[in-house]
Amino acid sequence: MRNTAFVLMGLAFLVLQANLFRLLSPMSAQLVALFGEGAHGRGAAVFIASCLTTPNLLLPLIVFTGVHEYSLSRGAMLAFVLGYAFDLFAAAPVGLFTFASVASFVIARIAGVRLAAQTILTQLALAFAFALTEGVMVMVLIAIFHKDPYVARAMVPRLLPSAIATALAAPLVFRLAERVHNATMTAPRASEGAAR
């Protein structure tokens, strides 16, 4: 039930993020010109502009699942599903955000042993660091696999603003994820306690 709630929350965040992109992205026309007017070029421009001009609302959710005590396999599967949905929503090459999301989850899981995202400052720092890491991963993958090597270079100026926006949105995402986490916790039944 918890994983289903997190997937639904992630899909809602994707819809919100897409609408934020439409409101906040004045550079989409420039990116369309950079990529070309074809259907594939326009999808790539929308994808890159959406991931680098608005906050990535999925990333704090993935980090939340990584730093909390979730099963590695279930958490990686959740990150895979959310990353794949991000690829589909953003018209990105399939596997780009899927890989970045699963990698972010695994890194958060490794760091989760030492970090606790209890304070707002920790949440801000985690989201900022992971947004920078994910942005660099995406830029490297685009530089390697895209036919135009200068596309990744054009994304560099948007990396820091996107990481800051993601960090500022992280406390809200963490708070909502914590509520879902608490609402889906299984409590021991009264009949089990009475039987002992």
Radius of gyration, alpha carbons of the chain: 18
Q: Three-state SS for 71?
A: coil
Whether 135 has a pLDDT exceeding 70, the answer reads: yes
The mean pLDDT value for 155-168 works out to 85
3-state secondary structure of 189: coil
What's residue 42's pLDDT?
Answer: 47
Residue where the block lists tokens 């906050």: 55
More confident residue, 69 or 101: 101
What DSSP character marks residue 91?
T
Q: Average pLDDT in the 142-155 region?
A: 74
Taking a C-beta distance cutoff of 8 angstroms, is the pair 56, 16 a contact?
no
pLDDT value at position 27?
57
Higher pLDDT, 126 or 18: 126
Model confidence over 10-64: pLDDT tens digits? Answer: 888 888 887 777 666 655 555 555 555 444 444 555 555 545 567 888 889 898 8
CA atoms within 13 A on the CB side of 163: 17
Segment 77-94 shows an average pLDDT of: 86
Q: Which domains does the chain have, with CATH numbers?
A: 2-183 (1.10.1760)
Q: State the average pLDDT for the chain.
A: 77
**Residue 40's pLDDT is what?**
47
| Spatial contact of 130 and 107, defined as CB atoms under 8 Å apart | yes
> What predicted TM-score, i.e. pTM, was given to this entire model?
0.72
Residues 6+ away with beta carbon under 8 Å from 19: none
Q: Determine whether 103 is exposed, middle or buried from the number of CB atoms within 10 Å of its CB (0-12, 13-18, 19+).
A: middle
Contact status, residue 173 vs residue 57, Cβ threshold 8 Å: yes
Residue 186: strand, helix, or coil = coil
**Nearby residues of 184 by Cβ (< 8 Å), 6 or more positions away:** 1, 2, 5
Closest CA to 47 of 19, 87, 9: 87
